[in-house]
Amino acid sequence: MSWQRFLPPALFFPFLAYVVFLREPVFFTILIGAVVVLGLLEFYNMVQKEDWWFLGLFFGIIIVGQAHQNEFSKIAGGIVYTFISAFLILGLIRPFLIAYISRFSIIAIIFGIGYVAFFISHLILIRNMEEGRQLLLYLFCVVWASDGGAYLIGRRFGRYKGIFKVSPNKSIEGLLGGLAGSLAFSLFLGGSIGLNGLESFVMGLLLSLVALLGDLVESSFKRNVGAKDSGNWIMEYGGILDVFDSIILSAPFFYYLYLFGLGA
């Protein structure tokens, strides 16, 4: 287990906390805008549709700006998120659906805008909520604790692998480690966003499952085009999408669940 695996988060987390807690929202928007741009470039390169990438970037930046101005329609956004997520989950069961995206440029361009720009921009919407700073801290900690727990336990104790065709190295032990990490941080931080013990447990469980789905979806894209990583920006982690794959589905899920459920 290489120490370089832990260098990027050790450098990035303090910077992220600084941008979230000590600066005006516009600085967080700029950070997420950069993530969206790099993520779109990676996505279009990954599905081999670089010819019309500038259209994706153009509309991606518009979506980031709309999120900063809180001009998303919450109901319409929830419907779009549900539709795309259902398609992705079905795509894990029927891989030809995800493979279909990479066959046509216009479909890949539109899907990239929704999957990368629209989904990730929900981090900006969360930041702009009344308790946005605490909500973001909770979300990042719980989701990345799930990733970290799955990696550490899976590498050390993983024996039963091959449960997911799109990511054959994942083990049952790793999944349990990820769930334990997510639940631990959710129970510890849940009170900071107004969750009781039961709500913290349920939210930690749900976020761990959604984070896993996000990971599997990106693995499916990479497997379909024969790519090991989405990019090579971040040392052993690969690219931006490799780091944010779990957040991509988790951020809008958490936003709408908190908005229409726990935050009501």
| Least reliable range by pLDDT among 23-27, 29-33, 120-124, 173-177 | 23-27
Rounded Cα distance between 198 and 218, Å, is 31
CA-derived radius of gyration, the chain: 17
| Whole-Å CA distances, 147 to 170, 237, 261 | 11, 12, 25
CB 255, CB 125: distance < 8 Å = yes
| Whole-Å CA distances, 13 to 8, 69, 132, 134, 221 | 8, 25, 17, 15, 27
Of the chain, the percentage scoring pLDDT greater than 70 comes to 83
Q: What is the pLDDT of residue 1?
A: 47
- Examine the pLDDT at 234 and tell me if it is beyond 80: no
Sign of CA dihedral 232, 214, 101, 79: negative
- Strand ranges in 96-232 using DSSP code E only, listed in sequence order: none
> If pLDDT is split at 50, 70 and 90, which confidence band does 5 have?
low
Task: Enumerate the domain spans of the chain.
Answer: 3-262
- The mean of the pLDDT values for the chain is 82
| Least reliable range by pLDDT among 88-92, 127-131, 182-186 | 88-92
For the chain, helix (H) and strand (E) counts, in that order, are: 12, 0
Return the higher-pLDDT residue of 63 and 73.
Answer: 63
Across 186-211, average pLDDT: 92
The 10 Å CB-count burial string (b at 16+, else e) for 26-43 is: eebbebbbebbbbbbbbb
Q: Classify burial at 89, counting beta carbons within 10 Å of its beta carbon; exposed 0-12, middle 13-18, buried 19 or more.
A: middle
Q: What is the pLDDT of residue 91?
A: 81
> If pLDDT is split at 50, 70 and 90, which confidence band does 255 have?
very high
Could you tell me the pTM of the whole model? 0.88
- Examine the pLDDT at 264 and tell me if it is beyond 50: no
- Examine the pLDDT at 152 and tell me if it is beyond 70: yes
Q: What is the pLDDT of residue 139?
A: 94
Across 37-41, average pLDDT: 90
Rounded Cα distance between 221 and 180, Å, is 27
Rounded Cα distance between 241 and 226, Å, is 16
Q: What is the pLDDT of residue 207?
A: 94
- Examine the pLDDT at 156 and tell me if it is beyond 90: no
Using DSSP, state whether 171 is helix, strand or coil.
strand
> If pLDDT is split at 50, 70 and 90, which confidence band does 242 have?
confident
